[in-house]
Amino acid sequence: MTETRADQLVYLSNRPAVLAETLNYVRHFMPWVREAVVLAPAATHERLRDLTPDAVGPKLVSVDEDELLTAAERGALSASHSARNATLRRLLYERGPVADVFLQSDDDYRPLRHIEPSMFIADGRLISYACHDLALWRRNDTTYDLVQHSTYLALSYFGAGHLNFASHMPQPIDRALFGESFAAAMSLDPSGAFCEWSLPLNHGRFVAPERFGEVRTYRTMCWPRYPHEWPYWRRPEQYAFENFHPELYAAGGLFAGLATALDENAPAQQAFAKLSRWYEFDLQAGRLRFPAGVRDPWRYSGSAPARVLRRGFFRTAAALRRVWEYVGLEERTALSELAGRLDALEQREPHPQPQPQVRDSHAPRRKQNGHRDRSD
């Protein structure tokens, strides 16, 4: 049996400077990646090669958008960012130098720690990371949101699972199953405006559950960009990747004063400094307190008069929350103590050993669709 490997990263990018920095993070934290395939406009390729000499990262394989697409296909590309990306990936995987199994990524998905290949493939099965359930995704503001909704409808129509795998971190992809998923969805809507993450990873589990391991909770910092921009479905228990936003490193950003490029001398300390700021903001904003100097999206968006009103509102809301915290202190303490006692009892209680079951060989087998989720 041939070993299943995913040591090829596949990117879409028109930002050579951002991708060059990301590939340096990959070189340091994912040294087992042998190749990076990049689909980009022709004008960016030379700049990218100048910024990524072979000595500082995986082998770079450039694919020119103009050579990949026909003139008719270029003219038909959607103005929607998400729908355009889905079309480009579909055609790249049909025609480009892409392995049978690879890691799909974007130019701003940066590892924060050493990553092992077993994070993506274990016992020959592909491991995927979900950030939400599409049935519960109610945002409807961006093209990202629109393709999640169309993807949910298609998956639901097929009877497949509908987790949100657009988790802003690399995911292992089976090239054949990716194509099969889009062929099925485009039989419903020929536009192909579906999510290139959520569609193939849900549909793949539906038609070939044996190819996949259990779903895990995603591991991405800065998805959402700031903590509390939307409610978590499952909170990451570990941050392994950063969803890089250049504006977070500018004045007023959460990471202002930190370098965007990898600190070759102290990469772990650099990553930990980001994680510490992210965690502190999460704790403070959850209590309606905001770190000084950070232009958060709640108090600093909109016009100048709107910003003044927003800041006044949050000052009042924070004061009211402190009153509520004091009034409810006794009840919350009692609940916390009860949870602790239950946890102690659970740990002391001996668990019965599972008894072997004899299955009727003529009974129908229950289909395993791989949609169970666990937090690892």
281 Cβ partners below 8 Å, 6+ apart?
Answer: 226, 227, 254, 290, 291, 294, 296
Q: Where are the domains of the chain?
A: 8-220, 298-340
pLDDT of 167 above 90: yes
Mean pLDDT of the chain: 86
CA 125 vs CA 151, 170, 341: distances in Å? 24, 16, 39
DSSP 120: T
In angstroms, rounded to a whole number, what is the distance separating the alpha carbons of residues 299 and 310?
5
User: In CATH, what is the architecture of 8-220?
Assistant: Alpha-Beta Complex (3.90)
Global pTM value? 0.81
Model confidence over 58-80: pLDDT tens digits? 999 999 998 999 888 888 888 78
> What pairs with residue 242 in β-bridges?
110, 221
**The predicted structure's pLDDT at residue 318:** 52
Percent of the chain with pLDDT over 90: 62
**The predicted structure's pLDDT at residue 43:** 86
pLDDT of 367 above 50: no
In angstroms, rounded to a whole number, what is the distance separating the alpha carbons of residues 218 and 240?
9
